[in-house]
Amino acid sequence: MGRYVAFLRAINVGGHTVKMADLRQSFEALGFANIETFIASGNVIFEATRTGARAASALESRIETALQDDLGYRVDTFIRTAKELRGIAAYQPFGDSEITAPGSRLFVAFVGKPPAAELVDRLMALSGGIDSFRVHGREVYWLVRGRYSDSRFSGTLLERTLGMPATVRGAATVAKIAAKLG
Protein backbone atom coordinates (compact mmCIF):
# COMPACT_ATOMS: atom_id res chain seq x y z
CA MET A 1 0.00 0.00 0.00
CA GLY A 2 1.23 3.47 -0.84
CA ARG A 3 0.61 6.44 1.43
CA TYR A 4 -0.51 9.67 -0.21
CA VAL A 5 -1.79 13.14 0.52
CA ALA A 6 -4.45 14.73 -1.64
CA PHE A 7 -4.49 18.52 -1.62
CA LEU A 8 -7.91 19.55 -2.85
CA ARG A 9 -8.74 22.91 -4.36
CA ALA A 10 -12.05 24.68 -3.58
CA ILE A 11 -12.90 22.86 -0.36
CA ASN A 12 -14.56 25.09 2.24
CA VAL A 13 -13.84 28.30 0.34
CA GLY A 14 -15.89 30.33 -2.11
CA GLY A 15 -19.23 29.05 -0.86
CA HIS A 16 -18.32 25.36 -1.23
CA THR A 17 -18.80 23.84 2.21
CA VAL A 18 -17.87 20.19 2.64
CA LYS A 19 -18.02 18.22 5.88
CA MET A 20 -14.86 16.24 6.48
CA ALA A 21 -16.90 13.12 7.26
CA ASP A 22 -18.46 13.37 3.78
CA LEU A 23 -15.04 13.85 2.22
CA ARG A 24 -13.70 10.76 4.01
CA GLN A 25 -16.76 8.82 2.83
CA SER A 26 -16.01 9.79 -0.80
CA PHE A 27 -12.46 8.46 -0.38
CA GLU A 28 -13.73 5.27 1.28
CA ALA A 29 -16.08 4.66 -1.66
CA LEU A 30 -13.01 4.71 -3.92
CA GLY A 31 -11.53 1.83 -1.92
CA PHE A 32 -8.81 3.78 -0.13
CA ALA A 33 -7.74 2.86 3.40
CA ASN A 34 -6.61 4.65 6.57
CA ILE A 35 -8.23 7.90 5.47
CA GLU A 36 -7.65 10.97 7.58
CA THR A 37 -8.51 14.59 6.92
CA PHE A 38 -6.27 17.32 8.28
CA ILE A 39 -7.96 20.65 9.03
CA ALA A 40 -11.06 21.46 7.02
CA SER A 41 -9.33 22.86 3.95
CA GLY A 42 -9.09 19.80 1.75
CA ASN A 43 -6.07 17.85 2.96
CA VAL A 44 -6.66 14.10 2.86
CA ILE A 45 -4.13 11.47 3.92
CA PHE A 46 -4.91 7.98 2.60
CA GLU A 47 -3.49 4.67 1.46
CA ALA A 48 -4.02 3.08 -1.94
CA THR A 49 -2.97 -0.23 -3.42
CA ARG A 50 -1.29 1.48 -6.37
CA THR A 51 2.04 2.96 -5.36
CA GLY A 52 4.53 5.53 -6.54
CA ALA A 53 4.49 8.91 -8.20
CA ARG A 54 3.22 7.47 -11.52
CA ALA A 55 0.16 6.03 -9.80
CA ALA A 56 -0.57 9.47 -8.33
CA SER A 57 -1.75 10.84 -11.69
CA ALA A 58 -4.30 8.05 -12.05
CA LEU A 59 -5.41 8.60 -8.45
CA GLU A 60 -5.89 12.33 -9.11
CA SER A 61 -8.22 11.57 -12.01
CA ARG A 62 -10.24 9.04 -10.03
CA ILE A 63 -10.63 11.40 -7.08
CA GLU A 64 -11.56 14.38 -9.27
CA THR A 65 -14.25 12.33 -11.04
CA ALA A 66 -15.68 10.99 -7.77
CA LEU A 67 -15.72 14.41 -6.10
CA GLN A 68 -17.38 15.98 -9.16
CA ASP A 69 -20.11 13.35 -8.84
CA ASP A 70 -20.39 13.63 -5.05
CA LEU A 71 -20.13 17.42 -4.67
CA GLY A 72 -21.45 18.68 -7.97
CA TYR A 73 -18.46 20.82 -8.89
CA ARG A 74 -14.89 20.35 -10.08
CA VAL A 75 -12.29 19.81 -7.36
CA ASP A 76 -8.77 19.99 -8.74
CA THR A 77 -6.70 17.40 -6.91
CA PHE A 78 -2.96 17.41 -6.33
CA ILE A 79 -1.52 14.13 -5.03
CA ARG A 80 1.89 13.80 -3.43
CA THR A 81 3.44 10.61 -2.11
CA ALA A 82 4.58 10.54 1.51
CA LYS A 83 8.19 10.69 0.31
CA GLU A 84 7.50 13.66 -1.96
CA LEU A 85 5.72 15.54 0.82
CA ARG A 86 8.58 15.01 3.25
CA GLY A 87 10.92 16.48 0.61
CA ILE A 88 8.59 19.43 0.02
CA ALA A 89 8.42 20.17 3.74
CA ALA A 90 12.21 19.93 4.11
CA TYR A 91 13.02 22.08 1.07
CA GLN A 92 14.46 25.52 1.94
CA PRO A 93 13.52 27.93 -0.87
CA PHE A 94 14.65 31.00 1.09
CA GLY A 95 17.24 31.70 3.75
CA ASP A 96 16.32 31.00 7.38
CA SER A 97 16.57 34.69 8.26
CA GLU A 98 13.98 35.53 5.58
CA ILE A 99 11.54 32.82 6.63
CA THR A 100 11.83 33.52 10.35
CA ALA A 101 11.76 37.32 10.08
CA PRO A 102 8.95 38.83 12.16
CA GLY A 103 5.72 38.84 10.20
CA SER A 104 6.98 36.63 7.36
CA ARG A 105 4.85 33.71 6.20
CA LEU A 106 5.78 30.97 3.79
CA PHE A 107 3.20 29.25 1.59
CA VAL A 108 3.41 26.25 -0.71
CA ALA A 109 1.31 26.11 -3.87
CA PHE A 110 0.75 22.72 -5.45
CA VAL A 111 0.39 22.51 -9.24
CA GLY A 112 -0.09 19.56 -11.56
CA LYS A 113 3.17 19.79 -13.48
CA PRO A 114 6.37 21.82 -13.37
CA PRO A 115 5.66 25.20 -14.98
CA ALA A 116 7.46 26.02 -18.23
CA ALA A 117 10.43 28.39 -18.00
CA GLU A 118 8.56 31.32 -19.55
CA LEU A 119 5.77 30.96 -16.99
CA VAL A 120 8.30 30.84 -14.15
CA ASP A 121 9.84 34.03 -15.56
CA ARG A 122 6.41 35.66 -15.60
CA LEU A 123 5.89 34.67 -11.97
CA MET A 124 9.32 35.92 -10.92
CA ALA A 125 8.49 39.29 -12.49
CA LEU A 126 5.82 39.64 -9.78
CA SER A 127 8.45 39.30 -7.02
CA GLY A 128 9.47 42.32 -5.06
CA GLY A 129 8.80 44.10 -1.82
CA ILE A 130 6.34 41.95 0.06
CA ASP A 131 6.22 38.86 -2.18
CA SER A 132 8.99 36.51 -3.33
CA PHE A 133 8.68 33.22 -5.20
CA ARG A 134 10.69 30.09 -5.87
CA VAL A 135 9.61 27.22 -8.09
CA HIS A 136 10.87 23.75 -7.33
CA GLY A 137 9.36 20.91 -9.33
CA ARG A 138 5.58 20.96 -9.01
CA GLU A 139 5.60 23.38 -6.08
CA VAL A 140 5.69 27.14 -5.91
CA TYR A 141 7.03 28.59 -2.68
CA TRP A 142 5.64 32.03 -1.86
CA LEU A 143 7.19 34.15 0.88
CA VAL A 144 5.11 37.04 2.20
CA ARG A 145 7.16 39.59 4.14
CA GLY A 146 4.94 41.52 6.49
CA ARG A 147 1.19 41.35 6.66
CA TYR A 148 -0.56 38.97 4.30
CA SER A 149 -3.25 41.61 3.79
CA ASP A 150 -0.61 43.95 2.32
CA SER A 151 0.21 41.47 -0.44
CA ARG A 152 -1.46 42.01 -3.79
CA PHE A 153 -0.74 38.40 -4.74
CA SER A 154 -3.26 35.54 -4.42
CA GLY A 155 -3.88 31.96 -5.44
CA THR A 156 -6.08 33.25 -8.26
CA LEU A 157 -3.27 35.44 -9.61
CA LEU A 158 -0.90 32.47 -9.34
CA GLU A 159 -3.26 30.36 -11.44
CA ARG A 160 -3.61 33.10 -14.06
CA THR A 161 0.14 33.68 -14.18
CA LEU A 162 0.99 29.98 -14.58
CA GLY A 163 -2.07 29.12 -16.69
CA MET A 164 -2.93 26.12 -14.56
CA PRO A 165 -4.92 25.25 -11.43
CA ALA A 166 -3.18 25.42 -8.07
CA THR A 167 -3.98 25.13 -4.40
CA VAL A 168 -2.09 26.95 -1.67
CA ARG A 169 -1.26 25.81 1.87
CA GLY A 170 0.75 27.39 4.64
CA ALA A 171 4.21 25.84 4.94
CA ALA A 172 3.49 25.10 8.61
CA THR A 173 0.45 23.03 7.59
CA VAL A 174 2.52 21.16 5.00
CA ALA A 175 5.17 20.43 7.65
CA LYS A 176 2.53 19.14 10.09
CA ILE A 177 1.09 16.82 7.47
CA ALA A 178 4.57 15.56 6.55
CA ALA A 179 5.26 14.89 10.24
CA LYS A 180 2.04 12.84 10.49
CA LEU A 181 3.31 10.67 7.64
CA GLY A 182 6.41 9.79 9.65
**pTM attached to this predicted model:** 0.94
Residue from 54, 59, 65 nearest 32 by CA? 59
Task: Give mean pLDDT, residues 24-52.
Answer: 92
Model confidence pLDDT, tens digit, residues 148-177: 888 989 999 999 999 999 999 999 999 999
pLDDT over 80 (residue 14): no
DSSP code per residue over 134-155: EEETTEEEEEE-S-GGG----H
